[in-house]
Amino acid sequence: MKFLDQAKVYIRSGAGGAGCISFRREKNVARGGPDGGDGGKGGDIWIEAADGLNTLIDYRYQQHFKAGTGVHGMGGNRTGSAGNDVILRVPTGTQVLDEFGEELLLDLTKVGQKACLLTGGNGGWGNARFKSSVNQSPRKANPGELTSDRWIWLRLKLFADAGLLGLPNAGKSTLLASVSEAKPKTAAYPFTTLHPSLGVVDIDASRRFVLADIPGLIEGAADGAGLGSRFLGHVERAGVLLHLVDGTADDPATAYNVVRGELAQYGGGLNERTEIVALNKIDAMPEDEIKTKQAELAAACGSKVRLISGVSGAGVSALMGELSVVIKQHQKAKNAPQEEPDSWSP
């Protein structure tokens, strides 16, 4: 299945049915009176976060969604049936934005969360509604309410407990494949990852978390270089960022600062998120070089640098255990009830 995290769609609610002008015509019944029924209500446009979906690929092949029109009223005081609703089923984590992609209208963060995007038009009244003591044979009915329409953007931001960051060819996909059942593409050239991947890391029965791998960032990604920085949205919801640095690179400190610079330009609070830095590919480095580059990287990031190898597995188990602890702390802080400020009194 192809991965698609953005889609622009057109939605239109249904128009209401028109009211009916009708009079009773029965044998031996004089002056039967008006009996025109009301029109049916137009269909609504709904959006729902559905379980089991992880891409917006369905909205690549269909971009126009139109709800049903209400049926016109009929004689015999028969009300027209309502138009059929349309439900857009999207993955959990989908955001709805206006047609310019600037204003956030809705954020679907829970499975089963449902919201009405456009309401269908009301049906018109039939002439039976206008009967009165001074007008017992009204020849008047209302038309149905017109449709409403708009363009919207759907943008998916995956839910993950931890996010993998780094320059291309830093070993992110290799690490994800080694700690989970995910099967991302891995190769000896950069940009093998073209779309985000999710993997479930099972440490033991009580420690499990979701790890997200996004395509590598390069300098100028915020301005569109490489694959750009649009995929950073998929780690916005992550509680901790795992920053992998290629130990075989000439200058790991510079590589680290490049990614940090792109995070700062992207915004969204990513540059303030809890970060764990790891020097990868130590299996391909001599011992003295490992120590030198670890010290340089620690000076650049101002924190402890972990040593790992996604290929040999060295240091990976300890790193995953540390990640699970930080994730648990983040979830505990997130779910903790917030203290209400003391009310002021004179």
Tens-level pLDDT at each residue, the chain (346 residues): 467 889 999 999 999 999 999 998 888 777 788 999 999 999 999 999 998 888 898 998 999 999 999 999 999 999 999 999 999 999 999 999 999 988 999 999 999 999 999 999 999 999 999 999 899 889 999 999 999 999 999 999 888 888 888 888 888 888 888 888 878 777 666 666 777 888 888 888 778 888 888 887 777 766 666 666 677 888 888 889 999 999 888 898 999 998 888 888 887 788 888 899 999 999 988 999 999 999 999 999 988 999 999 888 899 999 999 999 888 888 887 766 655 555 555 5
Domain boundary among 156, 191, 213: 156
Using one digit for the tens of pLDDT, what is the confidence trace for 196-205? 888 888 888 7
CA distance 167 to 260: 11
CA distance 303 to 283: 22
pLDDT for 338: 58
Do 255 and 228 share a structural domain?
yes
Do 263 and 296 share a structural domain?
yes
Do 298 and 275 share a structural domain?
yes
- Residue 276 sits in which domain range? 162-335
Distances in whole angstroms, Cα of residue 282 to Cα of each of 27, 167, 286: 98, 16, 8
CATH code for the domain of 247: 3.40.50.300
Tell me, yes or no, if the pTM score tops 0.75.
yes
In a domain, 56, yes or no: yes
Rounded to 5°, the CA angle 7-117-47 comes to 60
Do 96 and 142 share a structural domain?
yes
Do 212 and 133 share a structural domain?
no
Number of Cβ atoms within 10 Å of the Cβ of 124: 24
Do 76 and 193 share a structural domain?
no
> Based on the structure, what is the number of domains in the chain?
2
Using one digit for the tens of pLDDT, what is the confidence trace for 127-136? 999 999 899 8
Do 222 and 208 share a structural domain?
yes
In a domain, 342, yes or no: no
